[in-house]
A and B are shown apart, each in its own frame.
Chain A
């Protein structure tokens, strides 16, 4: 029990985040996120198998002694490179920071370093096949600048904490603060197509998730109570549903529906998505969706549409070359829309380290005019222990 006490103290001292999920790893044959994550729909802490996969299939082996085989590399994938001493406790620490450069070399160049994620995660798991789990994260994550209204926003937050019980390998129930069951969980914190359906990195909700998984189907039905730490009038209550069907054993085609609302607005969102295994770690991801937003104060309705497409190519182990295209039209009536696209490189030189470069070009269009190119690049480092 001293171990629990120790980690409770650490949780209160350490800085935070949100966990990220790499939906493109369907390119390695992992159709379901439950293979590698405790959360059945992805994101958040990795299970033991997920850590081993991250250390072997995902990360480069170029910097290991030639005498190390895959088994030995996987053996060192535990917290602080150690094999866990017990089955019921797992811990993880994550840091993600990046240098963000807007309008590089332009008159309005802006350079910032952002500590995006610094969190500790604790997992308690019991029973055969870890059928009962308790998952929590706590850490430090940035607020907008200047901060949002009110004086109760803290940099120190828990973005997820939930309990889960799998009655069988096919069916489980999860309750607590989690990401919403909807569409593809992409890792890009700045993915602007996620703003329209309100699926950003901060949009977790308390609620109950029912998860059903077979070889050919996966279903997540999620009841939302909103974020209980918010005032009641702001909580987005409702529910969401996501369904995925396995195609030709290695691809996934899915659909999602979400209906949520608070005292100010209602959101009805629906989407189709696909994740396609291009073999050898390469993958193609796509999601298109439509969002109806109703402002209750004046019954104003806006229909918006978004699209997200990503390709990941793996020329060799540890390296991914990707492209990202996003489209957002927040009001179909006014014919204005924005497009952002760009290539990037993601490199896992060794287990626990991810280095990433993203280049973005954003333009907005309307019938009368369009903006000039807006360029941004991002140099990111991600370390997990």
Chain B
């Protein structure tokens, strides 16, 4: 019975702990965003256009990024430099390479794209 106990313990202590709900707190819970009006304006655009995919269970976890600093440290944006920001280069509106995002839709509306540019250009 000791072996049986060890066996059960081995499995229980090593449960699969990552699944489709792992990021729910960030995707659906109340968020505390960085106190930066331009980021707060950009966040709804990012959430509606990017986070839906970039927080799936096989993809990035942008839903957990609630500050500009997290986007910078993830290598996604370069402050005050949209051309060198990977985040912008990937958006179809940028006409920069690779300009493939959003993958499952057409280009962003111009006003939404401009909000993203304003956010990055406004960062010191």
Question: Bound state CA distance, A226 and B17, in angstroms?
Answer: 10
Specify which of B14, B25, B107 is in contact with A264 (CB 8 Å cutoff). B25
Segment from B35-43, B55-63, B115-123 that makes contact with A: B55-63
A283 at the interface (CB under 8 A from B): no
Specify which of B11, B19, B104 is in contact with A202 (CB 8 Å cutoff). B19
Closest to A328 in B: B104
Specify which of A138, A234, A265 is in contact with B10 (CB 8 Å cutoff). A138
Question: Bound state CA distance, A159 and B11, in angstroms?
Answer: 9
B110 at the interface (CB under 8 A from A): no
Cross-chain pairs A/B with CB under 8 angstroms, 22 sampled: A136-B11, A138-B10, A143-B18, A144-B57, A146-B74, A149-B25, A149-B61, A153-B17, A154-B14, A161-B11, A177-B11, A195-B57, A202-B16, A203-B19, A204-B16, A227-B16, A227-B19, A295-B28, A297-B29, A364-B103, A371-B106, A374-B103
B12 at the interface (CB under 8 A from A): yes
Inside 8 A of A150's CB, which chain B residues have their CB?
A: 22
Chain A residues with CB under 8 Å of chain B are: 1, 4-5, 8, 11-12, 107-108, 122, 124, 134, 136, 138, 143-150, 152-154, 156-159, 161, 177, 190, 195, 198, 200, 202-204, 226-230, 233-236, 262, 264-265, 295-297, 330, 336, 338, 364, 366, 368-371, 374
Inside 8 A of A229's CB, which chain B residues have their CB?
A: 15-17
Closest to B26 in A: A149
Inside 8 A of B103's CB, which chain A residues have their CB?
A: 364, 371, 374
Closest to A228 in B: B15
Inside 8 A of A124's CB, which chain B residues have their CB?
A: 7
Question: Bound state CA distance, A11 and B3, in angstroms?
Answer: 13
Question: Bound state CA distance, A262 and B25, in angstroms?
Answer: 10
Q: Is the CB of A5 within 8 A of B3?
A: yes
B8 to chain A, nearest CB (A): 8
Tell me what chain B mostly uses at the interface: helix, strand, loop, or mixed: loop
Q: Among A145, A150, A236, which residue has the most Cβ atoms of chain B within 10 A? A: A150
Inside 8 A of B106's CB, which chain A residues have their CB?
A: 366, 368-371
Closest to A194 in B: B20
Specify which of A203, A227, A262, A336 is in contact with B24 (CB 8 Å cutoff). A262
Closest to A294 in B: B28
B54 to chain A, nearest CB (A): 10
Chain B residues with CB under 8 Å of chain A are: 3, 6-8, 10-12, 14-30, 52, 56-61, 64, 74, 97-98, 100, 103-107
Q: Is the CB of A371 within 8 A of B27?
A: no
Given A153-B22, A229-B15, 8 other A-B contacts at CB below 8 A?
Answer: A148-B23, A158-B12, A158-B16, A177-B16, A200-B20, A234-B21, A338-B104, A371-B104
Q: Among A134, A161, A226, which residue has the most Cβ atoms of chain B within 10 A? A: A161
Inside 8 A of B10's CB, which chain A residues have their CB?
A: 8, 11-12, 136, 138, 158
Query: What are the 3 closest A-B residue pairs judged by CB atoms, nearest first?
Result: A369-B106, A229-B15, A364-B104
Question: Quick one: given A1-B3, A149-B26, are A198 and B21 in contact (CB under 8 Å)?
Answer: yes
A61 to chain B, nearest CB (A): 37
Question: Bound state CA distance, A228 and B14, in angstroms?
Answer: 11
Inside 8 A of A364's CB, which chain B residues have their CB?
A: 103-105
Specify which of B25, B26, B107 is in contact with A233 (CB 8 Å cutoff). B25
Question: Bound state CA distance, A181 and B47, in angstroms?
Answer: 32
A196 to chain B, nearest CB (A): 10
Inside 8 A of B23's CB, which chain A residues have their CB?
A: 148-149
